[in-house]
Amino acid sequence: MSIAQDVSNQRSKPDNYLTHDRGFRSWALTLDHKRIGLLYMMFVLSAFLLGGTFAVLLRTSLLTPNHWMFPSDPAHDTQAKLFYNNMFSLHGAVMVFMFIIPAIPAILGNFMLPMMLGAKDVAFPRVNLLSFYIYMLGATFFSWVLIGGILRTAFNIHLPFGFGLDTGWTFYTPFSTSKAEDGMVAGVLGAFILGFSSILTGVNFIATIHTLRPRGMTWFRMPLFLWALYATSIIQILATPVLAITLLLLVAERLLHVGIFDSSLGGDPVLFQHFFWFYSHPAVYIMILPGMGVISEIISVHSRKHIFGYSFIALSSVALALLGFLVWGHHLFVAGQSNLADSIFSLLTFSVAIPSAVKVFNWLGTLYRGSIRFTPAMVFALGFILLFTVGGLTGLFLGALATDVPLHDTYFVIAHFHYVMVGSMVFAFLGGMYHWFPKMFGKMCNQNWGRAAAIMLFIGFNLTFFPQFVMGAHGAPRRWATYPAEFQPYHVMSTIGAYIMAISLITVALNWLAGLLWGRPAPANPWGGNSLEWHTPSPPPYDNFPTPPVVDDPYNLSAWEYDASIEGWVPRKTDPASATAPADRTRPVTH
């Protein structure tokens, strides 16, 4: 009754969340989780553009061993190095704090989480808006400081408060407290502010999943994306406050010379590393877990098959979140930590490999005997599986102590984390955007261009980062503005790959833009998913569900059949003898 009704209104409803209220204030003061998701999208994608531009500049600078972009006299030599050091710090800081950590939770999570629960919004809509404004404040402040540094070092343009950051995104002491440029304090405060956005999002998601699950949707009948977001939110609320305090201690050390981290005042520089990585290692699970959740959704829907091993995937997300808190010391393997600590952290580090492996095998199990459509989302998801496998396996070299010693702080590590952060997380993000684009905007993108961009990005990515494994194994240290000539061939390959990546991402952006402007109107369910967001028109109405959807197993894809006339999926005419057993279907959503 209810699904058929709202699905029959698939052609653009006159009123949806985009048209419901107009004017600047209706967006600036919106409490609608969908609009907040789009607001985040604008800023987070801008951060991606900023961080990516500097990645391309960095790679361009590294084409020759001696930073060819500046004249080679000694004064310019100093300037070139300060510029490079600001560039790599900006690239890391913007990408980590302003792009990767918020990307999937704040954009796709904000949009889809309430809808997947059949709810009208998150538990605390005002807190949601607040977390967006905190993000905007932190991001604006942080970018100003960082870009100011670039302008100063490259062009001698001095912005007020444009101090720059040259410590790397890791702010290690005592360099950051005694030698770094003055912008360090402002930069750290920018990161401090951004952390609160992350914490509040986490609080909101946990509360929403606990309290707004509809009757009949037990924990093990939630879509896996929600398990992923739940696990991510746990990390966000437990770990981010530790970073906040650490950054405040860093500022206190710099301004008040308290003596916690500065050895000349009796402090311990390695203590900072412990505090910092206690957050920053779980942070990488904040980055990857939502991506894994997206992949579970895409692989299932686009191969028309129930996810394989639901319970194991769900529990592996929680396991990763918890185990991720026990391994931070592997960032300190060569820092001078005790042999005992090194050994314990090495053993614990290997434990995180297991849940990751379990997921990859379950995704392959989902593809088995499926009916695979190579939509852009699926192409990104398949790329994810391969690149995440490489990223995860190369973690084995770094988790083993004897091999970590030569590889630590070399390009091998850079390649490893880019395989998981870009090859995996960015691929998952882009796949998720393609998967939910029709729902969010009510338009379809050109699928051929999307596929081409995905393949091009896969090729460019491997060309950029695989040579870095070899270069690192040969001894090339990281964060080097100049390098010995023997490493040049690897750098050149890497830079060419970076340009291919840039072209691919521009293609994606244009593909989305063209879809927004000229794409054909999207049906309510273009891919045939069964989670609740597909049970409402595209784009959704302001209050999400004109009629409450029925709770079902979210992977019961056989409840839908393809209707060529609308190029979308419609509920299969229920034959009492077929499809799901009565026990799988329950009453309409009530809260």
Partner 1 sequence: MGAMLNILADVGGGFWMPPQASDMAGDVDWLFFFIFSICVFFFGLILVLLVVFSWKYRYREGQPMLDAPKHNTALELTWTFIPTVIVIVIFFYGFKGYLRMSVPPPDAYEVDVTARMWSYTFTYPNGEKSDVLHIPVNTPVVFVMSSDDVIHGFYMPVFRLKKDIVPGRYNKIWVQAKKLGTFDIFCTQYCGQDHSAMRNHVVVESREDFVAWLGKLGGGSLPPAERGHYLWQTRGCSMCHSVDGSATGKAPTWKELFMTPVQAMDGSYMADENYLHDAISHPNIHPIAGFQPIMPPTEGLLNDKDIGDIIAYIKTLSSHYHPAKLPGHPALAPAASQPSN
Min dist. Cβ of residue 513 to partner 1 (A): 28
Helix (H, G, I), strand (E, B) or coil at 562: strand
Q: Is 305 in the site for partner 1 (CB under 8 A)?
A: yes
Alpha carbon 11 to chain centroid, angstroms: 32
Could you tell me if 225 and 428 are in contact, meaning their C-beta atoms sit under 8 angstroms apart? Answer: no
Q: Which stretch binds partner 1 (CB under 8 A): 26-34, 109-117, 203-211, 341-349?
A: 341-349
* DSSP structure string for 338-371: -HHHHHHHHHHHHHTHHHHHHHHHHHHHHHTT--
Q: How many C-beta neighbours within 10 Å does residue 189 have?
A: 18
DSSP per-residue codes, 472-484: HHTT-BSS-SS--
Phi/psi region, residue 43 (left: phi>0; alpha: psi -120 to 50; beta: rest), is alpha
In the three-class reduction of DSSP (H, G, I as helix; E, B as strand; rest coil), residue 521 is classed as: strand
Is residue 179 a contact point for partner 1 (CB under 8 A)? yes
254 binds partner 1 (CB under 8 A): no
The footprint of partner 1 on residues 75-94 (CB under 8 A) is 75, 77-79, 81-82, 85
Give the binding-site size for partner 1 (rule: CB under 8 A): 95
Binding segment (CB under 8 A) for partner 1, from list 137-145, 230-238, 357-365, 500-508:
357-365
Question: Of 310, 328, 419, 461, which one interacts with partner 1 (CB under 8 A)?
Answer: 310
> Nearer to partner 1 by C-beta: 23 or 578?
578
Nearer to partner 1, 30 or 346 (CB): 346
298 binding partner 1? (CB under 8 A)? no
Q: Using the rule CB under 8 A, which residue among 268, 417, 579, 585 binds partner 1? A: 268
CA distance 168 to 90: 8
Retrieve residue 261's tokens: 């981290």
Interface pick for partner 1 out of 58, 251, 393, 516 (rule CB under 8 A): 393
Helix, strand or coil for residue 393?
helix
Within 13 Å, how many C-alpha atoms sit on residue 47's CB side? 30
Among 269, 264, 267, residue whose Cα is nearest residue 170: 269
Task: Note whether 269 binds partner 1 by CB under 8 A.
Answer: yes
Token pair of 168 as six digits: 């790397």
> Contact between 152 and partner 1 (CB under 8 A)?
no
Q: Which stretch binds partner 1 (CB under 8 A): 144-152, 156-164, 177-185, 456-464?
A: 177-185
Residue 60 found at the interface with partner 1 (CB under 8 A): no
> Would you count residue 2 as binding partner 1 (CB under 8 A)?
no
Looking at the Cβ atoms of 27 and 312, the one nearer to partner 1 is: 312
Instruction: Pick the closer one to partner 1 by CB: 232 or 375.
Output: 375
Beta bridge partners of 568: 563
- The tokens for 66 are 């001696």
Site for partner 1 in 456-495 (CB under 8 A): 470, 473-475, 477-484
Footprint (CB under 8 A) of partner 1, residues 414-453: none
Closest contact distance (angstroms) between CB of 371 and partner 1 is 5
Can residue 52 be called a binding residue for partner 1 (CB under 8 A)?
no
Q: Which residue in the set 308, 380, 490, 569 belongs to the binding site for partner 1 (CB under 8 A)?
A: 308
41/370 Cα distance (integer angstroms): 33
Query: Interface with partner 1 includes 127 (CB under 8 A)?
Result: no
E strand intervals along 40-88: none
* Least distance between partner 1 and beta carbon 205 (Å): 27
Contact predicate 298/377, CB 8 Å: yes
172 forms part of the interface with partner 1 (CB under 8 A): yes
